[in-house]
Structure 1
Amino acid sequence: MKLWVLLSLVLLWEEVQNGVCQQIKRRKEAGENRIRPGNKRVKVRFPKLKDKEGLGKGQSLMTQVLDKGRFLRLGDTLTLVSGKNLELRCKGTRIGWAYPSYLDTFKDSRLSIKQQDKYSQLILTSPSAADTGEYGCWVVLCDGTECEKDPDRTSATYIYFTDKDELFVPSAIHFEIVYLRPDKPATIPCRVTSPQAKVSLHREVPPEEIPVDGTQISYNPTTGFIIQQPSPDHKGVFYCKASAKDTQQISNKYQLLYVEVPSGPPFATIEASSPLAKGGDNINVTCTVLGEPELGVNFTWTYPGQGQRPVNIQETWRLIDRGVGHTTRISQSVISVEDTETIDFGNYICRAKNQHGETAVAASVKSY
């Protein structure tokens, strides 16, 4: 009897051991063990985020370098005090930069840009209120000799350089012309050096403050007053007034002119002083273009005796008021031939060109 009980206990023990081993084996088969044959550990892989998803505009590409090696990640705007050097960095092995254009126009030595191994560095020493504007950077992608801007990796920040003596961003032009067109908004560019400044718009004659309702006329401290649908009623001389704490200032004056001529190639006409002439006469041929007030025109001439006979060419332009507040630019080029000879008779061709295209017109001068 005791022998039978002992044998039963031994069999029961073997069954328990077999059950534990099977359970361990099942756990291994379930993939819980991260050891593969060859003793190589399996790495857990996470899906990679695309660059444009992991990099927000103005968040991680461009930073401001602070004291003691600290960095500030920039947002849409930044307000700094004039006089303290500015250092910006942009991550990337090839970086392009944007900054107020006049720094390039006048080749300002205060601005320097250096490309390092992993970032580009922009330094502006002794910044003033005039340096207020948008600063930005972007990654440049190159394929051989062709390079282009990566639109998914860019940063831009509008930086105010405050100055208690300069509430408006200084300008080299003290009387600016603003052209009003019925088909697009117009901007009166009285920008301020502090986003906290309160700004109002005023007409000089008759003297009045212009109401700003946010719909027809709105204000943005980075651009100025925006007239959504300009009309002849908006023509005249205007200025802006800014106040901050105990300081008040008046901006430059702006002449608002209403534009009649739409955008397009030059509308040119040509006329000779006389269609008939004889040897020894003086000939004048005038080419006239009516166009947009701020749009310049380039004139070129083809004429009889070109390269063989001396001629005099003079170009002028002026703004004219054509009534009902409409303003147009009239540009003229006049070719003059003195003491004409037989070789001077024939067709005089004027080509007028602007950024929208070119127009050619011709006038004939014959001998009688």
Structure 2
Amino acid sequence: MNLILICLLCGMYGALAKDKKGKYSVPILDVKSRQLVLDTNQTLLLSCRGRWELTWAFPSGLAKDEVRVQESRCGSNSHQYCSGLTVSSTQFQHTGLFRCRYRHRTQKQTSVYVYVTDSQQPFVDHPGMSPDVLYMKQKTPLVIPCRVTHPNFTTTLIKFPNRSLSPDHRSIVWNSKQGFTIRAPTLYYVGFFHCETINEGVTHKSRKYFVHRPVSNIMEVYLNSSAVQALKGERLVLNCTAIGELNTRVNFTWDYPGKSNNTGSTFKRLLKHRTHMLFYSILTIPKLQRSDRGLYTCRVTSGRNAKQQKVNVTVYDRPFIRLKPRHGSVMEVQAGQKSYRISPKLRAFPAPEVIWLKDGMLAAEQCSRYHMDGSSLVIRDVAEEDAGKYAVLVLIQEHGLYQNLTLTLVVNVSPQIGEKAVSLQDSGSVPRGSRQAHHCTSHGVPPPHIQWLWHPCPSKGLPAAPRA
């Protein structure tokens, strides 16, 4: 008995599985053609049968109250679902795709395209409709949807003001159910378009379409400073500049310490160049406080793209000068060195004026080998005469601040013997017991120590050891 029951269940499951994978895996329409051509004011009747509950999707130009749907159970033992759709008086705007699909499995569907022909209105989107905006994406085909109400209408694409574009079946393709497809659109296709067709000697126009290419390519973002130092009470102005591709639009967002207190205000500006767009956002804080110090971030977004720049703002309570030696007040350098930099530790705000003196006179006027690099004094080709007293004077005149520092430079000179510069001649033989005087002149910094060495005459061809 159990075996018979199992066989019956297996048979029922096999029948259900066959039904699901067979005739009713998708709903079935009662029309064999993939398209229908009707005249206006005709009645459209469509019937659909399927395994599960059914629903309809129809063109947007057909209002719900213009459609009547009747549902019923049908088939042997009422195992199927049937649905009938009726449109009593068809109009040209009803042209489009009618789809019958399962209510809970909408991907399972069957469709038929219906043309409702009107000789006075060949386009589904008529010229009285407001312009439609079409967005063009890079490397994506562009469809200009000037669909027609009969499959045999011949149509031309017109670019404003009066440029005709005919389908070539390669770059521009015409389809009466879709319109014109530009397979690889470029910037040329940005602008206004409409379609035209001639029927019985009369030219008819479609709705206008505006093709816009949204661009979100942010090329660079700059801030007008990499670091900012300011005094309390001063005005802060930060300029954030973004460079984008043509047709790019960007949004600016500022993050800074005083944002929650609304201490700053922003101003935006746009400039268009031949090859790119420039966007400016200017953040202004009229009167800086100590609480305004910190990190300022300018963030630029366009679509999913984003770039940002940051700047650190330091706010001082008052102007100041801090000056001290870097490695003590006495410095040493070797004569002949290619260059030497005298560089004390200096911090000051606002930026001070720096003057260098050597032995009480302007250093740069004493020697062409002296030049300033920032707050440092650089000496090229160091010589003995460069030794002396160097003084640096730091001034902030508008605030009446100054500070000076005196440093001593010692120039070491390698010892030299003056007689080496003169060719020595053999003094010849001298009488035994006579008195001879020899001179050695030397110079160096610090002063050199002189030591005399005696080399006695060789004995029997052997060199003698020197004696002091």
So what's the TM-score if we normalise by structure 2? 0.46
Distance across 2 between alignment mates of 1:311 and 1:78:
65
Residue 150 of structure 2: aligned partner: 194
Contact 1:178 1:254 in 2 (8 A): no
Residue 40 of structure 1: aligned partner: none
Q: Give yes or no for the alignment of 1:54 onto 2:10.
A: no
Given the alignment, which residue of 124, 148, 157 partners 1:169?
Answer: 124
Distance across 2 between alignment mates of 1:86 and 1:50:
30
Contact 1:93 1:120 in 2 (8 A): no
- In the alignment, residue 203 of structure 2 is paired with which amino acid? Q
Distance across 1 between alignment mates of 2:270 and 2:68:
40
Residue 218 of structure 1: aligned partner: 173
1:267-295: CA deviation from partner (whole Å, max 9, x where unpaired): 562546996466463646547473685x8
Residue 313 of structure 2: aligned partner: 366
Structure with greater contact order relative to length (CA < 8 Å, sep ≥ 6): 1
Contact 1:283 1:340 in 2 (8 A): no
- In the alignment, residue 352 of structure 1 is paired with which amino acid? T
Contact 2:125 2:146 in 1 (8 A): no
- In the alignment, residue 359 of structure 1 is paired with which amino acid? A
Distance 1:198 1:272, change over 3 A: same
Matched-pair identity in %: 22
Contact 2:70 2:83 in 1 (8 A): yes
Contact 1:95 1:115 in 2 (8 A): no
Where in structure 1 are there 5+ consecutive unaligned residues? 1-35, 37-42, 64-71, 142-148
Partner of 2:206: helix, strand, or coil?
A: strand
Q: Give yes or no for the alignment of 1:307 onto 2:263.
A: no
Superposed, 1:1-368 pairs within 5 Å as 49=18, 51-55=20-24, 60-61=27-28, 63=29, 72-73=30-31, 75-82=33-40, 91=50, 93-95=52-54, 98-100=57-59, 110=65, 118=81, 128-141=91-104, 149=105, 151=107, 153-170=108-125, 172-174=129-131, 176=133, 179=136, 181=138, 183-204=139-160, 207=162, 209-231=164-186, 238-254=193-209, 269=221, 271=223, 276=228, 279=233, 281=235, 283=237, 286=240, 288=242, 290=244, 293=247, 301-309=254-262, 322=274, 334=281, 336-342=283-289, 343-345=291-293, 346-350=295-299, 352=301, 354=303, 357-364=304-311, 366-367=313-314
- In the alignment, residue 131 of structure 2 is paired with which amino acid? H
Residue 298 of structure 1: CA displacement?
6.4
Distance 1:283 1:192, change over 3 A: farther
Residue 170 of structure 1: CA displacement?
2.0
Distance 1:230 1:305, change over 3 A: same
Contact 1:110 1:126 in 2 (8 A): no
Distance 1:225 1:362, change over 3 A: same
Residue 174 of structure 1: CA displacement?
2.7
So what's the TM-score if we normalise by structure 1? 0.56
Distance 1:101 1:252, change over 3 A: closer
Contact 1:113 1:120 in 2 (8 A): no
Q: Tell me the number of residue pairs that the alignment of Structure 1 and Structure 2 aligns.
A: 291
Contact 2:191 2:210 in 1 (8 A): yes
Residue 127 of structure 1: CA displacement?
6.1
Residue 209 of structure 1: CA displacement?
3.7
- In the alignment, residue 309 of structure 2 is paired with which amino acid? A
Residue 192 of structure 1: CA displacement?
1.4
Residue 199 of structure 1: CA displacement?
0.9
Residue 92 of structure 1: CA displacement?
5.9
Distance across 1 between alignment mates of 2:243 and 2:43:
49
Distance 1:340 1:131, change over 3 A: farther
> RMSD across aligned C-alpha pairs, in angstroms?
5.0
Distance across 1 between alignment mates of 2:301 and 2:203:
47
Distance 1:337 1:226, change over 3 A: same
Distance 1:114 1:202, change over 3 A: closer
Contact 1:298 1:353 in 2 (8 A): yes
- In the alignment, residue 261 of structure 2 is paired with which amino acid? Q
Contact 1:290 1:331 in 2 (8 A): yes
Contact 1:267 1:359 in 2 (8 A): no
Partner of 1:54: helix, strand, or coil?
A: coil
Contact 1:176 1:254 in 2 (8 A): yes
Residue 366 of structure 1: CA displacement?
1.8
Contact 2:156 2:197 in 1 (8 A): yes
1:189-213: CA deviation from partner (whole Å, max 9, x where unpaired): 32212222221234555x5543433
Distance across 2 between alignment mates of 1:214 and 1:49:
43
Q: Which protein is bigger by CA-based radius of gyration?
A: 2
Contact 1:280 1:340 in 2 (8 A): yes
1:278-327: CA deviation from partner (whole Å, max 9, x where unpaired): 6463646547473685x876665543233332655678889x6745xxxx
- In the alignment, residue 129 of structure 1 is paired with which amino acid? F
Distance 1:185 1:349, change over 3 A: same
Distance across 2 between alignment mates of 1:232 and 1:314:
31
